[in-house]
Amino acid sequence: MFTEENLKKIEELKKKYPTTQALVLPVLWMAQEQFGHISNDTMKYVAQLLNVPYGHILGVVTFYTMYHSKPIGKHHIEVCTNVSCMLRGSAKIVEHLEHRLGVEIGQTSPDMKWTLSEVECMGSCGTAPMFAIGEEYYENLSTEKVDKILSELT
């Protein structure tokens, strides 16, 4: 169930779009923020709330890479390995992260602390290599800098 605040936000959102189906993306964002991930039950709940078929919601969740249908680690490290980052040493950053966290790309640590993902260009090419944790961008990375960032995360 959404919090009162989120339900109020949804009512506000309805004024901004001519159909409720247009609320699918913003409401899924809300769901992910509140519940951490978007489970099947959440999808059904959102479907009911917006009066769109569950299959539609499932289709949207599985299309967009930023929606997670399974729980992920507390810190989700998303490393860019696209060309601009690759040219400036992203492979070394990936290798270092895998070594330090004991997980490979695409995996979550058993204690659910870390999820490590490879992502496509994040628009940080001028400050490559980079990774993002949540909304925070960490740029111009070196292995020393990575160590420092990781040590500060609890």
Q: Which of 10, 31, 60, 103 contacts other proteins by CB under 8 A?
A: 60
Q: Which of 39, 69, 82, 109 contacts other proteins by CB under 8 A?
A: 82
Is 138 among the residues that bind other proteins (CB under 8 A)?
A: no
Phi, psi of 152, rounded to the nearest 5 degrees: -85, -5
Distance CA 122, CA 18 (A): 31
Q: How far is the CB of 148 from other proteins (least distance, A)?
A: 20
Is 141 among the residues that bind other proteins (CB under 8 A)?
A: no
Tokens of 118: 């490879």
**C-beta closer to other proteins: residue 86 or 147:** 86
Does residue 57 contact residue 27 with C-beta atoms inside 8 Å? no
Distance CA 79, CA 93 (A): 8
Q: Which of 59, 79, 80, 82 is nearest to 69 (CA)?
A: 59
> Which residues contact other proteins by CB under 8 A?
16-19, 21-26, 28-29, 52, 59-60, 63-67, 81-84, 86-88, 119-128, 132, 134-137
